[in-house]
Amino acid sequence: MIKKIISASIVLLFSTFVSAQEKVLTKGMKINSSTKIKKGIYQLSASSNMNEAIIIIEGNDIVVDFNNALMQGSDDINQPDKFTGIAILIRNSRNITIKNAKAKGYKLAVMAVDVQSLTIENSDFSYNYRPQLNSTQEKEDISDWMSYHQNENDEWLRYGAAMYLKNCDMAVIRENKVTGSQNALMMTGSSDGLIYNNDFSFNSGIGLGMYRSERNKVLHNRIIFNVRGYSHGVYNRGQDSAGILVYEQSNENLFYRNAVTHGGDGFFLWAGQSTMDSGKGGCNDNVLMGNDFSYAPTNGIEVTFSRNYIADNRIYECDHGIWAGYSYETNFRNNKIRNNRIGIALEHGQNNMISYNVFFKNKEAIRLWSRKEQPAGWGYAQNRDTRSRDYIIASNSFNNDSLVYNFKGTRNLNIFSNTYSGVDEVFKMDSTVVNLDTSFYERLYQLTVNDTNIILPEVDSAMNPFKGSIAYAGRKNIRMTAWGPYDFRSPIIWHNNPADTSRVMHFELVGPKGNWKVLSVKGVDSLSARSGNFPATITAIKQKSSNTDILIELEYVGEEIVTPFGQTIPAGKPYIFPFRKYFQPIQWEVKWFSYDTLKSPLDPKNEVLPVGSKPFKTDKTDRLEYAWWGGINEGNKIYPQFLTHAEGEVVVEAGEYEIGITWDDAVRLFVDDSLILNAWNHSMHKFDESPHKKIQIALNGKHRFRLEHLEKGGFATLSFRLKPVISRN
């Protein structure tokens, strides 16, 4: 008995000692030795200054156990587009481990700069920065497109990230979770890392991104639903979102047994601007093996201007299974390619091998082609042979594909030992296809048999990232909301026929198990049901009106749920979830005028639009939703530079409204002759993206809008939307 009392006392004293050593997080805290953090919730708002951070870790051989303490940045979880600052900054260090950390409500949860042998493990950095998307089910908004082409000066930081690693060699990133953000893990100049057993899913941008990063091993990760720019049956764009992004001289990386489904692209590799300018280098000798890249709105795998190895992957129901423009010496081997519009699409490829793949029910299995001319001034084409040539296509199985081979402008094709079952057409080609040989040659056959020797590393307790994937099968399960992809953890009412011009609206109610009931409706009649269980389908009839103002408000009671902003709602507690659709037609009169900015540079301070007396084109429309590629073609003439002048009137009910404007290159908005938005200085926009601006304004009765827009060459867009301001859940 005495021994038991003594033992208990020792344990109590030890626990008290450990507790006393635990540190409380404070703003501006600097950690330079191994530390355990006192568990709790820390409300620590961050400065927008990216040179500052809440916590700074610096030194060598440091372990920081955050003990599941939660760092909370912004206290307005419903506005993730306004999150700022860095929660944890690690810099100029070696052998740093952080574990059991949680941080949300920041622009960046963790930023590491010049850290060798960094380990981040068992941490949750969900619900950090993400912008509100402007695309709808009916129409894409060009401003949602992203551009990751440059990161020499950390341009990627403008998108935020859960984890951002710069010059961090030999990093180990394992068993972490990121959801409800824009980007999960972004790496620049970081090589020889090990990334495994992570869950980077349901984000609106990139799951994992690399830039100038080499020899990393990415294994057993779940990287699903990193997507934007998709509306099932209406448009599939992707908007440069991707499960995995590999850019600019990122070589010899291994991607093995990762679930990367439902990404804008599943895997998106681009050689980089330096290769495009010089024709040298690329993102070469990367290995994609044993992954699932299915259900991408655009490409399951995109690899361009580079040499890689792609084997044993599953690629179902994408637009292109594999898009591999200008790929060379690349082996596409033993992949399962099913139900894509085009299985493998390859323009201007050279010395590629396509072997032992199984194609099934693709509209086209393999398309090879070339253009007659390359873009003028394109350094890559000036420094490289870009002919489409020298293919081995052997030992593949084609099953129920509508067309097997679609060839144009290609030479030196060896096609042999393939099997065909239930295909509609085998060859489609013209006289530009030269030297197609279907003979069997032992020498070429041996090239297909002798596979590349890949050394696959082993990790302890490897996660099965594919478990439960069948529940999400199909692109139809991509449901884009204003804040990113729907994640199935809360109830949603989803409009299934958004492009239908009839008055009948079809809805499905998706979510955890529970009951639902309709609380209120506006703008619709004849609901087929007003209560029920999940899942369910209902219909409604639009009321006849000059505008569309529909609101269906429902209540859910059931299992515990997690809202799109990361808030946990206990089981049995009511949760309100709405459907809202609004469109206010405005009778616009639009005129376009030719303009030459070289002859007459625009003065941003000049409030008078310098147009001539006669427009080259006019239009009358009830909505402004324009996009132009390479100017306006009118009357057999192309106008690469032009000015747009649009005026419209509207009568609305009294209330607070939001105006949303997307443009490229410059715009001004006047409301009742008052200048509301002045973005006339186009030189202020640094990135290859179309800006978007939201303006809240009180309106009542009749109002007049005037938009003035400038396009100075290249891509152009102009859109205007008006909607009432409603409170968020």
Counting as low any pLDDT under 70, the low residues of the chain are: 1-20, 597-613, 682-685, 727-729
Token pair for 332: 């596409």
Kindly report the pTM of this predicted structure.
0.94
Strand partners, 88: 55, 110
Joined together, the tokens standing for residue 602 give 């625009």
Which domains, from first to last, does the chain contain? 36-133 (no CATH), 486-583 (2.60.40), 587-724 (2.60.120.260)
Q: Kindly list the distances between the CA atom of residue 69 and the CA atoms of 20, 25, 382, in Å, as whole numbers in the listed order.
A: 16, 9, 56
* Alpha-carbon span 131 to 126, nearest angstrom: 14
In 3D, which of 49, 141, 216 has the Cα closest to residue 719?
A: 141
Cross-strand bridge partners of residue 392: 353, 414
Residue 411 vs residues 384, 405, 425, 441, 727: alpha-carbon distances, Å: 17, 14, 21, 18, 61
| Token pair for 413 | 């094709």
CB 556 within 8 A of CB 574: yes
Three-state DSSP string of 6-75: HHHHHHHHHHHHHHHHCECCCCCEEECCCEEECCCEEECCCCCCCCCCCEEECCEEEEEECCCCEEECCC
What phi-psi label fits residue 636: left (phi over 0), alpha (psi between -120 and 50 degrees) or beta?
Answer: left
Amino acid 260: pLDDT: 98
pLDDT at 375: 84
Identity at 23, one-letter amino acid code: K
- CA nearest 324: which of 261, 367, 382, 360? 367
Look up residue 142 and give its two tokens: 């060009």
* Cβ atoms of 363 and 402 closer than 8 Å: yes
Indicate the burial class of 545 (C-beta count within 10 angstroms; 0-12, 13-18, 19 or more): exposed
Cα separation, 211 vs 190, whole angstroms? 8
- pLDDT tens, 32-47? 999 999 999 999 999 8
**Residues listed for the chain:** 729
